Chain A
Amino acid sequence: MSDDPPSPWSLSIRSSRSLLQYMFARLPVLAVALVLFVGPATAHGGSLGANARETIAVPTWLFLLTGGSAVGASFLLASFVTDRRLIRDIHGWYRARPFPARRVARLAGHLLGVAGLLVVLVLGYLGPSEALANPAILVVWVGWWAGFTATTYLVGNTWPVLNPWRTVSSLLPSADRAYPESLGAWPSVVGLLALVWLEVVSPLADEPRLLVGVVVGYTAFTLAGALVFGPDRWFGSVDPVARVFRYYGRVAPVKWDETADRLRLRLPGTGLSETRLVDGFDEVAFVVAIVWVTTYDGLVATPLWTGFARSAVDLGVPPMVLYPVAMIAGYLVFLAAYWLAAGYSRRMADSYRSQAYLARRFAPSLLAIAAGYHLAHYLGYFLSLLPAAITVLASPFTAPATVPVAQLPGWFGGLNMAFVLLGHLLAIWVAHATAFEVFPGRLQAIRSQYSFTLVMVLYTMTSLWIVSQPSVQPPFL
Protein backbone atom coordinates (compact mmCIF):
# COMPACT_ATOMS: atom_id res chain seq x y z
CA MET A 1 0.00 0.00 0.00
CA SER A 2 2.75 2.36 0.88
CA ASP A 3 4.30 2.21 -2.56
CA ASP A 4 1.43 4.02 -4.28
CA PRO A 5 2.25 7.50 -5.48
CA PRO A 6 1.00 10.20 -3.14
CA SER A 7 -2.40 11.60 -4.03
CA PRO A 8 -2.94 15.31 -4.62
CA TRP A 9 -4.69 16.13 -1.41
CA SER A 10 -2.33 14.20 0.75
CA LEU A 11 0.22 16.83 -0.15
CA SER A 12 -0.18 19.75 2.08
CA ILE A 13 -0.76 23.04 0.31
CA ARG A 14 1.93 24.45 2.52
CA SER A 15 4.74 22.19 1.45
CA SER A 16 7.38 24.85 1.79
CA ARG A 17 6.06 25.97 5.11
CA SER A 18 6.11 22.40 6.34
CA LEU A 19 9.74 22.15 5.42
CA LEU A 20 10.41 25.19 7.53
CA GLN A 21 8.30 23.70 10.28
CA TYR A 22 10.35 20.55 9.98
CA MET A 23 13.68 22.30 10.20
CA PHE A 24 12.39 24.42 13.00
CA ALA A 25 11.09 21.35 14.78
CA ARG A 26 14.35 19.45 14.72
CA LEU A 27 16.82 22.21 15.53
CA PRO A 28 15.71 23.01 19.08
CA VAL A 29 15.71 19.32 19.92
CA LEU A 30 19.33 19.00 18.91
CA ALA A 31 20.15 22.19 20.70
CA VAL A 32 18.45 20.97 23.87
CA ALA A 33 20.22 17.63 23.62
CA LEU A 34 23.61 19.20 23.10
CA VAL A 35 23.36 22.14 25.49
CA LEU A 36 21.82 20.29 28.40
CA PHE A 37 23.96 17.22 28.23
CA VAL A 38 27.37 18.60 27.54
CA GLY A 39 28.02 18.33 31.20
CA PRO A 40 30.35 15.96 32.99
CA ALA A 41 29.69 12.19 33.18
CA THR A 42 31.52 9.46 31.34
CA ALA A 43 30.33 6.20 29.94
CA HIS A 44 30.44 2.68 31.12
CA GLY A 45 33.55 1.19 29.59
CA GLY A 46 32.67 -2.49 29.74
CA SER A 47 34.75 -4.73 31.95
CA LEU A 48 38.07 -3.68 30.45
CA GLY A 49 39.82 -0.35 30.88
CA ALA A 50 38.07 2.80 31.99
CA ASN A 51 35.43 2.11 34.57
CA ALA A 52 34.98 5.58 35.97
CA ARG A 53 31.63 7.16 35.40
CA GLU A 54 31.83 10.66 36.77
CA THR A 55 29.09 12.17 38.83
CA ILE A 56 26.69 14.67 37.35
CA ALA A 57 26.47 18.26 38.48
CA VAL A 58 22.64 18.35 38.56
CA PRO A 59 20.53 16.05 40.76
CA THR A 60 19.79 12.69 39.13
CA TRP A 61 16.03 13.19 39.13
CA LEU A 62 16.35 16.45 37.19
CA PHE A 63 18.83 14.91 34.80
CA LEU A 64 16.49 11.99 34.11
CA LEU A 65 13.47 14.27 33.87
CA THR A 66 15.26 16.39 31.28
CA GLY A 67 16.21 13.34 29.22
CA GLY A 68 12.65 11.99 29.34
CA SER A 69 11.28 15.43 28.48
CA ALA A 70 13.57 15.74 25.47
CA VAL A 71 12.11 12.52 24.05
CA GLY A 72 8.53 13.52 24.90
CA ALA A 73 9.07 16.97 23.42
CA SER A 74 10.45 15.52 20.22
CA PHE A 75 7.26 13.49 19.88
CA LEU A 76 5.23 16.70 20.24
CA LEU A 77 7.46 18.49 17.76
CA ALA A 78 7.13 15.61 15.29
CA SER A 79 3.35 16.14 15.40
CA PHE A 80 3.91 19.40 13.50
CA VAL A 81 5.28 17.42 10.55
CA THR A 82 2.09 16.10 8.98
CA ASP A 83 2.91 16.50 5.31
CA ARG A 84 3.00 12.99 3.90
CA ARG A 85 4.96 14.02 0.83
CA LEU A 86 7.68 15.63 2.94
CA ILE A 87 7.96 12.52 5.10
CA ARG A 88 8.11 10.32 2.02
CA ASP A 89 10.67 12.57 0.39
CA ILE A 90 12.90 12.38 3.44
CA HIS A 91 12.57 8.61 3.71
CA GLY A 92 12.74 7.97 -0.01
CA TRP A 93 15.84 10.08 -0.66
CA TYR A 94 18.84 8.15 -1.89
CA ARG A 95 21.84 8.29 -4.20
CA ALA A 96 23.15 5.21 -5.99
CA ARG A 97 26.74 4.70 -7.07
CA PRO A 98 28.51 1.73 -8.60
CA PHE A 99 31.11 0.23 -6.33
CA PRO A 100 34.60 0.34 -7.88
CA ALA A 101 36.77 -2.78 -7.85
CA ARG A 102 34.03 -4.74 -6.16
CA ARG A 103 35.53 -8.20 -6.60
CA VAL A 104 38.89 -7.10 -5.25
CA ALA A 105 37.26 -5.38 -2.28
CA ARG A 106 35.13 -8.43 -1.56
CA LEU A 107 38.14 -10.74 -1.68
CA ALA A 108 40.10 -8.36 0.57
CA GLY A 109 37.18 -8.36 3.02
CA HIS A 110 37.06 -12.17 3.06
CA LEU A 111 40.80 -12.35 3.69
CA LEU A 112 40.72 -9.67 6.38
CA GLY A 113 37.94 -11.52 8.23
CA VAL A 114 39.73 -14.87 8.09
CA ALA A 115 43.03 -13.25 9.09
CA GLY A 116 41.27 -11.61 12.05
CA LEU A 117 39.91 -14.95 13.19
CA LEU A 118 43.37 -16.53 12.91
CA VAL A 119 44.89 -13.66 14.90
CA VAL A 120 42.37 -14.22 17.66
CA LEU A 121 42.85 -18.00 17.74
CA VAL A 122 46.64 -18.12 17.43
CA LEU A 123 47.76 -14.96 19.24
CA GLY A 124 45.08 -15.33 21.89
CA TYR A 125 46.68 -18.60 22.79
CA LEU A 126 50.38 -17.77 22.26
CA GLY A 127 50.30 -14.09 23.24
CA PRO A 128 50.78 -12.58 26.71
CA SER A 129 48.20 -13.60 29.28
CA GLU A 130 47.56 -10.05 30.54
CA ALA A 131 44.27 -8.82 29.09
CA LEU A 132 45.53 -5.43 27.96
CA ALA A 133 48.63 -6.90 26.30
CA ASN A 134 46.90 -9.73 24.48
CA PRO A 135 46.04 -9.17 20.79
CA ALA A 136 42.99 -11.48 20.85
CA ILE A 137 41.30 -9.57 23.67
CA LEU A 138 41.94 -6.25 21.97
CA VAL A 139 40.90 -7.45 18.50
CA VAL A 140 37.65 -9.00 19.77
CA TRP A 141 36.51 -6.36 22.25
CA VAL A 142 38.06 -3.13 20.98
CA GLY A 143 38.37 -3.82 17.26
CA TRP A 144 35.35 -5.99 16.68
CA TRP A 145 32.65 -5.57 19.32
CA ALA A 146 33.21 -1.84 19.95
CA GLY A 147 34.70 -0.58 16.68
CA PHE A 148 33.32 -2.83 13.98
CA THR A 149 29.82 -2.91 15.46
CA ALA A 150 29.75 0.89 15.42
CA THR A 151 30.55 0.87 11.70
CA THR A 152 27.58 -1.41 10.99
CA TYR A 153 25.08 1.25 12.09
CA LEU A 154 27.14 4.36 11.31
CA VAL A 155 28.24 3.31 7.81
CA GLY A 156 26.81 -0.01 6.65
CA ASN A 157 26.74 -3.72 7.36
CA THR A 158 29.89 -5.30 5.92
CA TRP A 159 29.65 -8.42 8.09
CA PRO A 160 28.38 -10.72 5.28
CA VAL A 161 31.72 -10.07 3.52
CA LEU A 162 33.99 -10.01 6.59
CA ASN A 163 32.33 -12.89 8.46
CA PRO A 164 35.14 -15.49 8.46
CA TRP A 165 32.79 -18.35 9.32
CA ARG A 166 30.66 -17.54 6.30
CA THR A 167 33.75 -17.35 4.07
CA VAL A 168 35.04 -20.70 5.32
CA SER A 169 31.69 -22.50 5.25
CA SER A 170 30.94 -21.31 1.70
CA LEU A 171 34.10 -23.14 0.61
CA LEU A 172 32.95 -26.34 2.31
CA PRO A 173 30.24 -28.71 1.07
CA SER A 174 26.80 -28.37 2.64
CA ALA A 175 24.13 -30.97 3.35
CA ASP A 176 21.45 -28.30 2.67
CA ARG A 177 19.00 -29.89 5.05
CA ALA A 178 15.62 -28.11 5.27
CA TYR A 179 15.54 -25.63 8.14
CA PRO A 180 12.44 -26.06 10.32
CA GLU A 181 10.53 -22.91 9.32
CA SER A 182 8.45 -22.91 12.48
CA LEU A 183 11.61 -22.08 14.48
CA GLY A 184 11.98 -18.78 12.62
CA ALA A 185 14.33 -16.36 14.36
CA TRP A 186 13.87 -17.94 17.81
CA PRO A 187 17.20 -19.83 17.84
CA SER A 188 18.98 -16.51 17.25
CA VAL A 189 17.02 -14.89 20.10
CA VAL A 190 18.16 -17.67 22.44
CA GLY A 191 21.68 -17.48 21.01
CA LEU A 192 21.96 -13.72 21.55
CA LEU A 193 20.71 -13.92 25.14
CA ALA A 194 23.10 -16.82 25.80
CA LEU A 195 26.12 -15.03 24.31
CA VAL A 196 25.53 -11.86 26.31
CA TRP A 197 24.89 -13.84 29.48
CA LEU A 198 28.23 -15.60 28.92
CA GLU A 199 29.94 -12.26 28.33
CA VAL A 200 28.53 -10.84 31.56
CA VAL A 201 29.13 -13.78 33.91
CA SER A 202 32.55 -14.94 32.67
CA PRO A 203 35.84 -13.02 32.50
CA LEU A 204 35.75 -13.17 28.69
CA ALA A 205 37.29 -9.71 28.40
CA ASP A 206 40.07 -10.45 30.90
CA GLU A 207 41.29 -13.97 30.19
CA PRO A 208 42.61 -14.55 26.67
CA ARG A 209 42.67 -18.36 26.94
CA LEU A 210 39.00 -18.44 27.93
CA LEU A 211 38.15 -16.12 25.05
CA VAL A 212 39.98 -18.42 22.62
CA GLY A 213 38.04 -21.36 24.05
CA VAL A 214 34.71 -19.62 23.47
CA VAL A 215 35.72 -18.59 19.93
CA VAL A 216 36.72 -22.18 19.17
CA GLY A 217 33.38 -23.41 20.51
CA TYR A 218 31.47 -20.81 18.49
CA THR A 219 33.50 -21.72 15.38
CA ALA A 220 32.75 -25.44 15.73
CA PHE A 221 29.06 -24.84 16.37
CA THR A 222 28.68 -22.30 13.55
CA LEU A 223 30.54 -24.34 10.95
CA ALA A 224 28.56 -27.45 11.88
CA GLY A 225 25.30 -25.52 11.55
CA ALA A 226 26.30 -24.04 8.20
CA LEU A 227 27.31 -27.50 6.99
CA VAL A 228 23.91 -28.92 7.86
CA PHE A 229 21.60 -26.11 6.70
CA GLY A 230 23.82 -24.26 4.22
CA PRO A 231 25.59 -20.93 4.93
CA ASP A 232 22.78 -18.72 3.58
CA ARG A 233 20.18 -20.31 5.77
CA TRP A 234 22.41 -20.52 8.84
CA PHE A 235 23.63 -16.92 8.75
CA GLY A 236 20.23 -15.71 7.55
CA SER A 237 18.18 -17.36 10.29
CA VAL A 238 20.08 -18.96 13.13
CA ASP A 239 23.38 -17.15 13.75
CA PRO A 240 22.70 -14.38 16.29
CA VAL A 241 25.84 -12.41 15.43
CA ALA A 242 25.00 -12.10 11.73
CA ARG A 243 21.45 -11.09 12.64
CA VAL A 244 22.59 -8.36 15.05
CA PHE A 245 24.79 -6.80 12.37
CA ARG A 246 22.08 -7.15 9.72
CA TYR A 247 19.60 -5.32 11.94
CA TYR A 248 22.12 -2.64 12.90
CA GLY A 249 22.86 -2.22 9.19
CA ARG A 250 19.29 -1.05 8.67
CA VAL A 251 20.04 2.05 10.72
CA ALA A 252 23.05 2.82 8.53
CA PRO A 253 23.15 5.23 5.59
CA VAL A 254 24.95 2.88 3.16
CA LYS A 255 23.35 -0.23 1.77
CA TRP A 256 24.40 -2.64 -0.96
CA ASP A 257 21.63 -2.93 -3.54
CA GLU A 258 21.99 -6.46 -4.90
CA THR A 259 19.54 -6.12 -7.77
CA ALA A 260 20.90 -2.83 -9.11
CA ASP A 261 24.51 -3.80 -8.36
CA ARG A 262 25.07 -0.43 -6.71
CA LEU A 263 25.78 1.16 -3.38
CA ARG A 264 22.82 3.14 -2.08
CA LEU A 265 23.27 6.13 0.19
CA ARG A 266 20.22 7.11 2.25
CA LEU A 267 19.62 9.29 5.28
CA PRO A 268 20.51 7.49 8.55
CA GLY A 269 17.54 5.64 10.02
CA THR A 270 15.26 6.13 7.02
CA GLY A 271 15.61 2.47 6.08
CA LEU A 272 13.84 1.56 9.31
CA SER A 273 10.39 2.66 8.12
CA GLU A 274 10.37 0.23 5.19
CA THR A 275 7.63 -2.36 5.14
CA ARG A 276 8.36 -6.00 5.82
CA LEU A 277 11.60 -5.29 7.59
CA VAL A 278 10.41 -7.35 10.51
CA ASP A 279 8.17 -10.20 9.39
CA GLY A 280 7.01 -12.06 12.45
CA PHE A 281 6.83 -11.94 16.21
CA ASP A 282 10.10 -13.91 16.36
CA GLU A 283 11.86 -10.98 14.67
CA VAL A 284 10.15 -8.48 16.98
CA ALA A 285 11.50 -10.61 19.84
CA PHE A 286 15.00 -10.36 18.40
CA VAL A 287 14.86 -6.56 18.10
CA VAL A 288 13.69 -6.32 21.72
CA ALA A 289 16.49 -8.71 22.70
CA ILE A 290 19.11 -6.40 21.13
CA VAL A 291 17.71 -3.49 23.16
CA TRP A 292 17.52 -5.56 26.34
CA VAL A 293 21.01 -7.09 26.24
CA THR A 294 22.72 -3.68 26.08
CA THR A 295 20.60 -2.61 29.04
CA TYR A 296 21.37 -5.79 30.99
CA ASP A 297 25.08 -5.38 30.34
CA GLY A 298 25.00 -1.93 31.93
CA LEU A 299 22.46 -2.78 34.64
CA VAL A 300 24.52 -5.53 36.31
CA ALA A 301 27.41 -3.05 36.71
CA THR A 302 25.34 -0.61 38.81
CA PRO A 303 25.52 -0.42 42.62
CA LEU A 304 21.75 -1.01 42.72
CA TRP A 305 22.24 -4.44 41.14
CA THR A 306 25.06 -5.22 43.57
CA GLY A 307 22.75 -4.45 46.49
CA PHE A 308 19.93 -6.45 44.98
CA ALA A 309 22.18 -9.43 44.16
CA ARG A 310 23.64 -9.47 47.69
CA SER A 311 20.24 -9.56 49.34
CA ALA A 312 18.99 -12.21 46.90
CA VAL A 313 22.02 -14.39 47.64
CA ASP A 314 21.52 -13.80 51.39
CA LEU A 315 18.02 -15.20 50.93
CA GLY A 316 19.54 -18.36 49.47
CA VAL A 317 19.39 -17.76 45.69
CA PRO A 318 22.50 -19.30 44.08
CA PRO A 319 24.44 -16.62 42.11
CA MET A 320 24.65 -18.88 39.07
CA VAL A 321 20.84 -18.95 38.98
CA LEU A 322 20.43 -15.25 39.74
CA TYR A 323 22.10 -13.94 36.59
CA PRO A 324 20.27 -16.02 33.95
CA VAL A 325 16.94 -15.63 35.77
CA ALA A 326 17.39 -11.85 35.92
CA MET A 327 18.29 -11.82 32.25
CA ILE A 328 15.21 -13.79 31.19
CA ALA A 329 12.87 -11.96 33.56
CA GLY A 330 14.10 -8.56 32.41
CA TYR A 331 13.79 -9.61 28.78
CA LEU A 332 10.21 -10.75 29.29
CA VAL A 333 9.39 -7.41 30.98
CA PHE A 334 10.81 -5.53 27.97
CA LEU A 335 8.95 -7.76 25.52
CA ALA A 336 5.70 -7.42 27.46
CA ALA A 337 6.04 -3.63 27.67
CA TYR A 338 6.53 -3.40 23.92
CA TRP A 339 3.65 -5.77 23.20
CA LEU A 340 1.35 -3.78 25.49
CA ALA A 341 2.40 -0.57 23.76
CA ALA A 342 1.42 -2.09 20.40
CA GLY A 343 -1.99 -3.01 21.85
CA TYR A 344 -2.59 0.48 23.22
CA SER A 345 -1.43 1.95 19.93
CA ARG A 346 -4.19 0.00 18.16
CA ARG A 347 -6.73 1.23 20.69
CA MET A 348 -5.62 4.87 20.63
CA ALA A 349 -5.66 4.94 16.84
CA ASP A 350 -9.10 3.25 16.75
CA SER A 351 -7.67 0.99 14.06
CA TYR A 352 -8.31 -2.59 12.95
CA ARG A 353 -4.63 -3.11 12.29
CA SER A 354 -3.76 -6.06 14.51
CA GLN A 355 -1.56 -5.75 17.57
CA ALA A 356 0.88 -8.18 15.94
CA TYR A 357 1.05 -6.06 12.77
CA LEU A 358 1.73 -2.86 14.71
CA ALA A 359 4.37 -4.64 16.81
CA ARG A 360 6.11 -5.71 13.59
CA ARG A 361 5.91 -2.32 11.89
CA PHE A 362 7.21 -0.28 14.82
CA ALA A 363 9.90 -2.70 16.04
CA PRO A 364 12.63 -1.45 13.63
CA SER A 365 12.50 2.03 15.20
CA LEU A 366 13.88 0.45 18.39
CA LEU A 367 17.09 -0.37 16.51
CA ALA A 368 17.97 3.34 16.43
CA ILE A 369 17.74 3.32 20.24
CA ALA A 370 19.98 0.26 20.46
CA ALA A 371 22.53 1.88 18.13
CA GLY A 372 22.61 5.10 20.18
CA TYR A 373 23.04 3.10 23.36
CA HIS A 374 25.83 0.99 21.85
CA LEU A 375 27.68 4.13 20.73
CA ALA A 376 27.30 5.70 24.18
CA HIS A 377 28.70 2.54 25.73
CA TYR A 378 31.58 1.82 23.43
CA LEU A 379 32.87 4.91 21.58
CA GLY A 380 34.89 6.14 24.55
CA TYR A 381 36.03 2.59 25.27
CA PHE A 382 37.13 2.18 21.64
CA LEU A 383 39.00 5.50 21.44
CA SER A 384 40.80 5.08 24.76
CA LEU A 385 41.96 1.54 24.00
CA LEU A 386 42.79 2.07 20.33
CA PRO A 387 46.44 3.06 21.07
CA ALA A 388 46.76 -0.09 23.17
CA ALA A 389 45.44 -2.24 20.33
CA ILE A 390 47.86 -0.70 17.81
CA THR A 391 50.86 -1.09 20.14
CA VAL A 392 50.03 -4.67 21.03
CA LEU A 393 49.40 -5.76 17.45
CA ALA A 394 52.84 -4.40 16.54
CA SER A 395 54.48 -6.79 19.01
CA PRO A 396 51.93 -9.58 19.47
CA PHE A 397 54.04 -12.13 21.37
CA THR A 398 55.70 -10.03 24.05
CA ALA A 399 53.93 -7.75 26.47
CA PRO A 400 55.14 -4.15 25.98
CA ALA A 401 56.57 -2.40 29.04
CA THR A 402 53.64 0.00 29.11
CA VAL A 403 50.38 -0.26 27.21
CA PRO A 404 49.28 3.22 26.13
CA VAL A 405 45.67 4.10 26.99
CA ALA A 406 44.26 7.38 25.75
CA GLN A 407 42.80 9.74 28.35
CA LEU A 408 39.51 11.15 27.12
CA PRO A 409 38.56 14.74 27.95
CA GLY A 410 35.88 15.36 30.56
CA TRP A 411 33.26 16.55 28.10
CA PHE A 412 33.29 13.14 26.43
CA GLY A 413 30.77 11.86 28.97
CA GLY A 414 28.31 14.51 27.84
CA LEU A 415 28.73 13.23 24.32
CA ASN A 416 27.63 9.78 25.51
CA MET A 417 24.44 11.23 26.99
CA ALA A 418 23.86 12.94 23.66
CA PHE A 419 24.23 9.60 21.80
CA VAL A 420 21.62 7.95 24.03
CA LEU A 421 19.25 10.85 23.36
CA LEU A 422 19.96 11.03 19.62
CA GLY A 423 19.14 7.33 19.30
CA HIS A 424 15.79 7.95 20.97
CA LEU A 425 15.05 11.04 18.89
CA LEU A 426 15.78 9.12 15.69
CA ALA A 427 13.49 6.34 16.93
CA ILE A 428 10.68 8.86 17.59
CA TRP A 429 11.06 10.23 14.08
CA VAL A 430 11.16 6.77 12.44
CA ALA A 431 8.07 5.69 14.37
CA HIS A 432 6.33 8.92 13.35
CA ALA A 433 7.13 8.33 9.67
CA THR A 434 6.05 4.69 9.95
CA ALA A 435 2.75 5.69 11.55
CA PHE A 436 2.06 7.98 8.59
CA GLU A 437 2.61 5.01 6.28
CA VAL A 438 0.38 2.71 8.32
CA PHE A 439 -2.64 4.86 9.18
CA PRO A 440 -4.86 6.79 6.76
CA GLY A 441 -5.55 9.54 9.30
CA ARG A 442 -2.83 12.00 10.28
CA LEU A 443 -4.19 12.65 13.76
CA GLN A 444 -4.76 8.90 14.02
CA ALA A 445 -1.07 8.35 13.22
CA ILE A 446 -0.04 10.80 15.94
CA ARG A 447 -2.39 9.25 18.49
CA SER A 448 -1.02 5.78 17.68
CA GLN A 449 2.33 6.94 19.04
CA TYR A 450 1.20 7.81 22.59
CA SER A 451 1.99 4.39 24.02
CA PHE A 452 5.22 3.91 22.08
CA THR A 453 6.39 7.36 23.17
CA LEU A 454 5.61 6.59 26.80
CA VAL A 455 7.65 3.38 26.59
CA MET A 456 10.51 5.28 24.96
CA VAL A 457 10.43 8.04 27.60
CA LEU A 458 10.63 5.43 30.37
CA TYR A 459 13.37 3.61 28.53
CA THR A 460 15.41 6.79 27.96
CA MET A 461 15.23 7.57 31.65
CA THR A 462 16.33 4.01 32.51
CA SER A 463 19.24 4.12 30.06
CA LEU A 464 20.39 7.55 31.22
CA TRP A 465 20.15 6.40 34.81
CA ILE A 466 22.38 3.39 34.06
CA VAL A 467 24.90 5.51 32.15
CA SER A 468 25.00 8.02 35.04
CA GLN A 469 25.66 5.38 37.70
CA PRO A 470 29.18 4.52 38.88
CA SER A 471 30.33 1.31 37.23
CA VAL A 472 31.13 -1.49 39.66
CA GLN A 473 32.24 -5.08 39.17
CA PRO A 474 29.12 -7.32 39.19
CA PRO A 475 29.22 -9.41 42.39
CA PHE A 476 29.59 -13.22 42.74
CA LEU A 477 31.37 -13.69 39.39
Chain B
Amino acid sequence: MSTHTDEPTTEPIAAGPNDDYSVPADDETVVCEYCGAPFSDEAFRALHWGLEHESELTDDQREAAQDAFEDENQALRLFQLKALGVLVVLYFGLMMAYLLVT
Protein backbone atom coordinates (compact mmCIF):
# COMPACT_ATOMS: atom_id res chain seq x y z
CA MET B 1 0.00 0.00 0.00
CA SER B 2 1.65 3.19 -1.05
CA THR B 3 -0.03 6.43 -1.98
CA HIS B 4 -3.55 5.11 -2.36
CA THR B 5 -6.26 7.15 -0.68
CA ASP B 6 -10.01 6.73 -0.76
CA GLU B 7 -10.40 10.10 -2.43
CA PRO B 8 -10.48 9.60 -6.18
CA THR B 9 -8.46 12.32 -7.87
CA THR B 10 -10.45 12.29 -11.05
CA GLU B 11 -14.16 12.84 -11.53
CA PRO B 12 -16.16 9.61 -11.60
CA ILE B 13 -16.45 8.95 -15.31
CA ALA B 14 -19.38 6.59 -15.43
CA ALA B 15 -21.49 8.76 -13.15
CA GLY B 16 -23.28 11.86 -14.34
CA PRO B 17 -25.52 12.65 -17.26
CA ASN B 18 -23.25 11.66 -20.12
CA ASP B 19 -23.27 8.90 -22.67
CA ASP B 20 -19.50 8.40 -22.90
CA TYR B 21 -19.96 4.75 -21.94
CA SER B 22 -22.62 2.21 -22.71
CA VAL B 23 -22.44 -1.17 -21.05
CA PRO B 24 -24.67 -4.03 -22.24
CA ALA B 25 -26.93 -5.03 -19.34
CA ASP B 26 -25.96 -8.73 -19.29
CA ASP B 27 -22.20 -8.21 -19.60
CA GLU B 28 -19.82 -8.93 -16.76
CA THR B 29 -17.83 -5.77 -16.36
CA VAL B 30 -14.65 -4.84 -14.56
CA VAL B 31 -14.84 -1.39 -13.04
CA CYS B 32 -11.99 0.92 -12.12
CA GLU B 33 -12.36 1.73 -8.42
CA TYR B 34 -10.65 5.08 -8.83
CA CYS B 35 -12.84 6.63 -11.48
CA GLY B 36 -15.65 4.17 -12.18
CA ALA B 37 -14.73 3.54 -15.81
CA PRO B 38 -16.06 0.16 -16.98
CA PHE B 39 -13.94 -2.35 -18.93
CA SER B 40 -14.70 -5.62 -20.65
CA ASP B 41 -11.46 -7.19 -19.52
CA GLU B 42 -9.09 -7.20 -16.52
CA ALA B 43 -6.16 -6.41 -18.80
CA PHE B 44 -7.78 -3.22 -20.11
CA ARG B 45 -8.41 -2.07 -16.55
CA ALA B 46 -4.82 -2.82 -15.59
CA LEU B 47 -3.55 -0.80 -18.56
CA HIS B 48 -5.95 1.99 -17.61
CA TRP B 49 -4.60 1.94 -14.03
CA GLY B 50 -1.08 2.39 -15.30
CA LEU B 51 -2.04 5.26 -17.55
CA GLU B 52 -4.48 7.22 -15.44
CA HIS B 53 -3.93 6.41 -11.77
CA GLU B 54 -0.29 5.54 -11.60
CA SER B 55 0.40 7.51 -8.41
CA GLU B 56 -2.53 5.98 -6.52
CA LEU B 57 -2.03 2.28 -7.20
CA THR B 58 -1.44 -0.48 -4.65
CA ASP B 59 1.62 -2.66 -5.23
CA ASP B 60 -0.54 -5.47 -6.62
CA GLN B 61 -2.25 -3.14 -9.03
CA ARG B 62 1.07 -1.68 -10.10
CA GLU B 63 2.34 -5.17 -10.85
CA ALA B 64 -0.82 -6.04 -12.75
CA ALA B 65 -0.38 -2.90 -14.83
CA GLN B 66 3.26 -3.75 -15.59
CA ASP B 67 2.31 -7.30 -16.59
CA ALA B 68 -0.53 -6.15 -18.81
CA PHE B 69 1.81 -3.68 -20.51
CA GLU B 70 4.42 -6.34 -21.17
CA ASP B 71 1.86 -8.86 -22.41
CA GLU B 72 0.64 -6.24 -24.78
CA ASN B 73 4.14 -5.68 -26.11
CA GLN B 74 4.16 -9.27 -27.32
CA ALA B 75 0.80 -8.98 -29.06
CA LEU B 76 1.80 -5.66 -30.53
CA ARG B 77 5.01 -7.06 -31.99
CA LEU B 78 3.07 -9.87 -33.64
CA PHE B 79 0.64 -7.36 -35.11
CA GLN B 80 3.47 -5.23 -36.43
CA LEU B 81 5.07 -8.25 -38.05
CA LYS B 82 1.82 -8.99 -39.86
CA ALA B 83 1.48 -5.34 -40.82
CA LEU B 84 4.96 -5.43 -42.29
CA GLY B 85 3.99 -8.52 -44.31
CA VAL B 86 0.90 -6.81 -45.69
CA LEU B 87 2.95 -3.72 -46.56
CA VAL B 88 5.47 -5.81 -48.50
CA VAL B 89 2.70 -7.62 -50.39
CA LEU B 90 1.01 -4.30 -51.13
CA TYR B 91 4.23 -2.72 -52.35
CA PHE B 92 5.26 -5.52 -54.69
CA GLY B 93 1.68 -6.16 -55.79
CA LEU B 94 1.30 -2.56 -56.91
CA MET B 95 4.74 -2.53 -58.47
CA MET B 96 3.90 -5.58 -60.56
CA ALA B 97 0.55 -4.10 -61.53
CA TYR B 98 2.33 -0.98 -62.80
CA LEU B 99 4.89 -3.08 -64.70
CA LEU B 100 2.11 -5.07 -66.35
CA VAL B 101 -0.08 -2.18 -67.47
CA THR B 102 2.56 0.35 -68.56
A55 at the interface (CB under 8 A from B): no
Closest to B85 in A: A76
Q: Which of A4, A9, A82 contacts B65 (CB 8 A)?
A: A9
Find chain A residues with CB under 8 A from B84 CB: 76
Category for how many chain B residues contact A = 35 or more
Known contacts A65-B97, A76-B87, A352-B38; is-contact A357 B21 (Cβ 8 Å):
yes
Of A69, A79, A352, A356, the contact of B83 (CB 8 Å cutoff) = A79
Is A203 interfacial (CB 8 A cutoff)? Answer: no
Known contacts A72-B90, A354-B19; A7 and B54 CB within 8 A of each other: yes
Residues of B within 8 A of A357 (CB): 19-21
Chain B 5-47 interface residues, beta-carbon cutoff 8 Å to A:
10, 13, 19-23, 29, 35, 38-41, 43-45, 47
Chain A hits for B35, CB < 8 A = 1
Give per-residue flags for B74-102: 1 if the beta carbon is below 8 A from chain A beta carbons, else 0. 01100110011011001100100110011
* A350-B40, A440-B51, A442-B72 known; A69 vs B10 contact (CB < 8 Å): no
Q: Which chain B residue lies CB-closest to A6?
A: B51
Where chain B touches its partner, the secondary structure class is: helix
Residue contact A7 to B22, C-beta cutoff 8 Å: no
Number of residues on chain A facing chain B (CB within 8 A): 37
Q: Are B66 and A9 in contact (CB under 8 A)?
A: yes
In Å, the complex CA distance between A443 and B39 comes to 15
Contacts of B87 in A (CB 8 A): 73, 76-77
Q: Is A202 an interface residue (CB 8 A)?
A: no
Interface residues of A (CB under 8 A from B): 1, 4, 6-10, 57-59, 62, 65-66, 69, 72-73, 76-77, 79-80, 82, 84, 350-357, 439-444, 446
Q: Enumerate 15 A-B pairs (CB-CB under 8 Å) in ascending A order.
A: A58-B101, A58-B102, A66-B94, A69-B90, A69-B94, A76-B87, A77-B87, A80-B83, A350-B41, A352-B29, A355-B22, A440-B50, A442-B72, A443-B72, A444-B44
Interface residue ranges, B against A (CB under 8 Å): 10, 13, 19-23, 29, 35, 38-41, 43-45, 47-48, 50-52, 54, 65-66, 69, 72, 75-76, 79-80, 83-84, 86-87, 90-91, 94, 97-98, 101-102
